[in-house]
């Protein structure tokens, strides 16, 4: 795992893979929300943080 991914996962409190699965599957999202004690807003905040991180990484790649 890259240092950037590790830092992101620490910030998200969840693995990127697990978050991506939950975002693409409603049942998994509900399971994750219940298991973590989150609200839908908590899940969406993490999704937005992931999106911002991916966008920043893509911008960095485009500059090279």
Summarised one tens digit per residue, pLDDT across range 6-27 is: 667 777 888 889 999 999 999 9
Task: Supply the pLDDT for residue 56.
Answer: 83
Question: pTM of the predicted model, to two decimals?
Answer: 0.76
Task: Supply the pLDDT for residue 28.
Answer: 96
Contact 46, 12 (CB under 8 A): yes
Q: Would you state the structure tokens that stand for residue 61, as one six-digit string? A: 């790649």
CA 18 – CA 15 distance, rounded (Å): 5
Q: What is the DSSP letter of 37?
A: T
């Amino acid at each position: 795992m890259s240092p950037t991914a590790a830092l992101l996962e620490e910030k998200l409190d969840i693995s990127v893979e697990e978050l991506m699965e939950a975002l693409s599957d409603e049942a998994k999202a509900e399971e994750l929300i219940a298991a973590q004690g989150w609200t839908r807003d908590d899940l969406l905040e993490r999704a937005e943080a992931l999106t911002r991180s991916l966008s920043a990484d893509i911008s960095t790649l485009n500059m090279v």
